[in-house]
Each structure stands twice: as structure tokens, then as C-alpha cells.
Amino acid sequence: MQFINPNGAKVLLVPVTQFGSKFWRSIIQEYQPPAWAGYKLFFLTLAGMGLLQALTWRRVQPKLLIASAGMGYLACTSQRSILFFVIVAMPHAAYMLDKLVPLVNEKMRRLQLLLLPVAWCALVMLMFVPDKTFVFGPGFYRPYYPSEIYKFLETEVPSQNLFNDMRYGGKHAVVAVSEIQTIH
């Protein structure tokens, strides 16, 4: 095992040991509940799901509802579960929208094919393009690759010890760069 991974078999137990540790759970952000400031879209999705379910209550699908409600609860308690909530909730939302359309207007069904690209375009223009964190298009993810700052460091600042936020550090576990050292 150590031939494949220098950390040995213990690496397989990391998720379990981390989850079982109060300390790790207290400092790992993904284990914290989502806050409105950073997760507006998630909370709006939850509210939208609730509204859709209320509107289509007569045709409720218990399996989908239970799965969405369960994962929704977990997502509200831990950011790490939001992805799994989305995976479960989207088919549920699609089912409810399908049941909602006849209630609103039968003719709406014919517009579904047209509405899809319009909805995607609106999503791109209103959500993705203005987003300064997840910049639309190819390129570095700026919160983790502050290239201007790195260029400044390279050209203007003499070599010295830096204290860095852990997101900038780099993974030392890769065998190919195992010679890389930290400052301590």
C-alpha cells in the first residue's frame, strides 16, 4: 500500500477519522451549516422546492419528497451535503414542474422546449456572467490562483518565509513533488 501511496493505508480512514473528530468538524468549513450570505441560491432553491411541492401537493410522489426532504435537512446542517441534495432534488423538481404545467395551462407544454434554452440563457446572463468568484469561461479559479499577487511576489518581493492561508499551500502528498518542503 505504501508503494502506491506514501501515507499508507491510513489515508483510507481519513474521512472516517475526520468525521468522528470534534476538532476537525469544528474547523472544516464543509461540515458547517450554510449561511445565507454565501448560499443564497441554495436557500432560494429550497424555498422554490417547497413552493412547487405545495402547488402540486395532490400529485405528491412520496419517495421523491422523502429523499428531497431528507437531503435538504442534511444540506442545511452541512455544506458538504448540498451537492447530494441537488442530485436528489433536481429529478424531484423536474417531476413537480411536469405536474404543475397542466394545472397552469395545457398550452405551456408546447412551450417547454422553447423555455429551456431561454431559461439557460437567463441563468448564464444573470448568474454566471456577473459572478466575480466563478468567472465565466476558461481560466484560473481566482480565489485559489491569485496570479497577479504571485507575479508581484515573484518580481517585487525577495525570497522569505510566508505565512499563507491553507488554500494556497499546495498538496505535498504527490510523489513527484515529495521533495517540496514547508518552512517548518
Partner 1 sequence: MAESMQWWLYPKFKPFIDGRGDAYSVEFWKTEYLPVVEVRPDWEKILAKYDVLGVLLAIPNDRKLPRLAGTLHEHSDWALVAYNDHTLLFCGARPPIRTSSPAMNFA
Q: How many residues does the chain have?
A: 184
Q: Which of 145, 148, 151, 152 has its CA nearest to residue 170?
A: 145
Q: Which is nearer to partner 1, 47 or 149 (CB)?
A: 149
- Min dist CB 149 to partner 1, Å, is 5
Contact call for residue 153 and partner 1 (CB under 8 A): yes
Contact call for residue 3 and partner 1 (CB under 8 A): no
Q: Which is nearer to partner 1, 40 or 109 (CB)?
A: 40
Q: How far apart, in whole angstroms, are the C-alpha atoms of residue 120 and residue 126?
A: 10
Contact call for residue 128 and partner 1 (CB under 8 A): no
Our measurement of the distance from residue 28's CA atom to the centroid of its chain's CA atoms, rounded to an integer in Å, reads 15
Q: What are the backbone angles phi and psi of residue 72, rounded to the nearest 5°?
A: -65, -40
Contact call for residue 28 and partner 1 (CB under 8 A): yes
Contact call for residue 142 and partner 1 (CB under 8 A): yes
Q: Which is nearer to partner 1, 106 or 156 (CB)?
A: 156
The 8-class DSSP code of residue 33 comes to P
The answer to whether 92 and 64 are in contact (CB under 8 A) is: yes
**Residues in the site for partner 1, rule: CB under 8 A?**
7, 14, 17-18, 21, 23-24, 27-28, 35, 37-38, 132-133, 140-150, 152-154, 156-173, 177, 180-184
